[in-house]
Homo-oligomer: A and B are copies of this chain.
Amino acid sequence: MTKTPPSPEAVAAWARLMRVSRQLVEKTEDALKAEGLPPLGWYDVLHELAESGEEGLRPFELVDRVLLAQYSVSRLLARLEADGLVEKLPVSDDGRGQTVRITPSGRETRRRLWAVYGKAISELMGDKLSAKELEMLAGLLGRLRDPPIME
């Protein structure tokens, strides 16, 4: 248990991290909205589902991957389903569960989201730092992760 107050360096890095991450998200969301596209959260889910292929994923697997609360995923999937971007299939060996699979329309939406999202990443990160610096940044952030990544 840490008793001493945080070092000035820690506070400065924290403040930067908080401010920058919010700025980046906000700008990206703005870019998506400007194109009439759904929010960032939709991309994450569609991405995971696209990666998982035809088998799809169980909602609880999605919860682990996208770092959202169970009820958030439940409702997000309901919206995605209402929009025809995913479909829910009963799963044979577990009557409680379902498998969620991305639809062709979902893949198309993901593609369009990526066109904007990827561009935002290029402009907001890729263009600002060199490859070496980006790796260094990722490395430092990895050490803050839970669990930490020691490269």
Contacts and interface: CB of A to CB of B under 8 A. Distances in A.
How many copies of this kind of chain does the complex include? 2
A21 B23 contact: no
Interface string A124-151: 1111110101111110111111101000
Report whether over half of chain A's contact residues are helix, strand or loop; otherwise say mixed: helix
A6 to B, nearest CB: 4
A7 B145 contact: no
Contacts of A146: 23, 27
B141 A17 contact: yes
A129 B121 CA distance: 26
Given A2-B126, A23-B146, A134 B17 contact: no
Contact of A136 (B18, B122, B140): B140
Interface size class of A (residues with CB under 8 A): 35 or more
Contacts of A16: 137-138, 141-142, 145
Contacts of A123: 2
A16 B138 CA distance: 6
A5 interface: yes
A13 interface: yes
20 contacts: A2-B122, A7-B126, A9-B126, A10-B129, A11-B121, A12-B134, A13-B134, A16-B137, A17-B17, A17-B137, A19-B67, A19-B145, A20-B145, A23-B144, A124-B144, A128-B143, A129-B140, A133-B140, A133-B143, A137-B140
